[in-house]
Amino acid sequence: MKLRRLLIPCICLALASPVLADERGDELIAAYLDQAARKNARVTVQVKHVKGRQPPIFLVFTWMRRVQAKLTSHFIRMEAPESEEGKLLLVHERSDGSSDFVAYRPQSALRKKVRISGARHYKYKSLRISVQELIGGELAKYTHHYLGSREVGGLRCHLVENRLKPEFIGKSDFPRSILALSVDRLTMVQWELYDRTNRLARKIVATETKVVEGTPTVTQARISSPQRDSHLQWTVQSIEFDPPFEADLFRREFLQRQTDSPTSRK
């Protein structure tokens, strides 16, 4: 009987351990987000996407981010090619990892409210850009576990494993990921994201990091999807921290006005 009483809490602890975070993992992710994602910014990005032997696809978009105490808002505006110009996406991300996602097409009656369920993708031909990745992998949906340090891409890095919290199971394409952060500056060096069968689904490698306005920033990255035989080159064309924003820019009503305007392309 005593043995049975001892086994029960041990079994419960073993079952719970995958979702329990550790202090060091939490500290590293918090520091990374404070530096990389929790700052107001306006970023213009060009992506080049290649899938198999198909011709490359180019896309340019502007990403505006507004950070408040309990809400981070992301306003994404497509700039090129011409067929995509003016398309708008608005994401409100809460501190607990939940979020709202609204997309609009200019000069169209289509007003599509997209329910949050897993990773969202902006699709253009064979190109899919994960909004989840753009906004930092929604790391608040995960517990964080420090795996120690090792060399990655020639740099000494802290490794943090991120595991999806039980309340978000089934609501992400990536239940687990391993993030490598440089020991010296805590910038992202490599990020491996695994699918629901625990296969590597996406690998993000920083290929250029610069100090912009005093902030170490990844300005070029290569994103490969081995299961889709595709890779994407991400290049920051311009970035500005703490830019002046219009007061209504991050409101759904602003997107509504942009959609209703017969001449608006921006």
Tell me what pLDDT residue 203 has.
93
Specify the length of the chain in residues.
266
At residue 103, φ and ψ (nearest 5 deg) are: -125, 140
Tell me what pLDDT residue 48 has.
92
pTM of the model: 0.78
Cα distances (angstroms) measured from residue 38 to each of 35, 66, 72, 73 = 7, 8, 8, 10
Return the percent helix, strand and coil in the chain, to nearest 5: 20, 50, 30
What contacts 244, CB < 8 A, 6 or more positions away? none
Place of tokens 């896309």: 59
> Nearest to residue 179, comparing CAs of 222, 211, 147?
147
Tell me what pLDDT residue 109 has.
46
Tell me what pLDDT residue 103 has.
65
Domains of the chain by range and CATH? 21-260 (2.50.20.10)
Task: Give, for all 266 residues of the chain, the pLDDT tens digit.
Answer: 444 444 444 434 334 444 456 899 999 999 998 888 888 999 999 999 998 888 998 989 998 888 888 888 888 888 998 888 888 777 787 777 777 766 665 554 444 443 333 335 667 777 766 655 555 657 888 999 999 999 999 999 999 999 999 988 877 778 999 999 999 999 999 999 999 999 999 999 999 999 999 889 999 999 998 888 888 899 999 999 999 888 678 877 776 665 554 434 43
Contact 178, 123 (CB under 8 A): no
Tell me what pLDDT residue 167 has.
86
What contacts 27, CB < 8 A, 6 or more positions away? none
Place of tokens 């011709």: 55
Helices (H), the chain: 2-16, 23-36, 131-134, 252-260
